[in-house]
Amino acid sequence: MGSRLSAVCFAANRPARVARFWVELLGWAAVDAVTLRPGDDDGFRIRFVASDEPKAGQNRAHFDLTSDSLAGQERTVARVLELGGRHVDVGQLPEEEHVVLADPEGNELCVIEPGNKFLAGCGFVGALACDGSQAVGYFWSAALGWPLVWDQNQETAIQSPRGGSKITWSGSPVGPGIGPDRVTFDLTPTGDLRAEVDRLISLGATHLGTSAESVRLADPDGTEFRVLARPTEPAEKTTGHPAEPAEETAHRPAGPDDESARRPAA
């Protein structure tokens, strides 16, 4: 009994357009017009879900992209801008070495400076960096079966036993969200759906609703996620570029003492 992180989902007004940006930036395969998968089968997918809601305020989660050199960091920044991204100011200090950018719909991302020990060996997508309490880090560690790899000063991080990108939480205080959650998780249960939902609720999740395709829950910080009633990963052959759909129909899914090892806050 347990769950697999099937996808990190971003609400988007034009999901196919944003998906193309991330396909080009990350070099991941396009499963369909709105879903990306990494080169290895162990990692999570990224899915863009159509929404009419405009983005309001800063997302509570963003990707940290790693760099192997200053020149590599500069190339990534230039590539983001070339693909339609932009620089954004989220209060970062002039002396901070990471670069804060946003994709064409304003979803924030950080390009981390070389030499960051905390993200060493995690791949280009070093982490999904989230606002969240220590308790929510514990919850997701138990929910996914990913061990804690950092737990200090209320900051937490987990990583799949197979390695890859970390998921980090900044610790308290957690700022209030503005509008609906725009970055959410889709989970696929490894066994019985009802038993898995009961397990997640016993860990601290709250039931929000049930539909034919999923059960909607919220984690201990109130961030919504879904447990899928059946896998949604498309079986189509993957391509390098997602095709533009004829129409995008909106729907809503029913840290260490060494400075080089810290997760930069964006």
Kindly state which CATH superfamily the domain 3-254+256-261 is placed in: 2,3-Dihydroxybiphenyl 1,2-Dioxygenase, domain 1 (3.10.180.10)
d(CA 141, CA 156): 10
pLDDT tens column, 83-141: 999 999 888 777 789 999 999 999 999 999 999 999 999 999 999 999 999 999 999 99
pLDDT in tens, 186-219: 999 999 999 999 999 999 999 999 999 999 999 9
pLDDT tens-digit map of 37-64: 998 766 899 999 999 998 888 999 999 9
Q: Looking at per-residue confidence, does 146 or 236 come out higher?
A: 146
User: Does residue 80 have a pLDDT over 70?
Assistant: yes
Structural domain spans, the chain: 3-254+256-261
**Residue from 48, 225, 216, 210 nearest 132 by CA:** 225
Can you give the pTM of this predicted structure?
Answer: 0.86
Q: What is the mean pLDDT of the chain?
A: 88
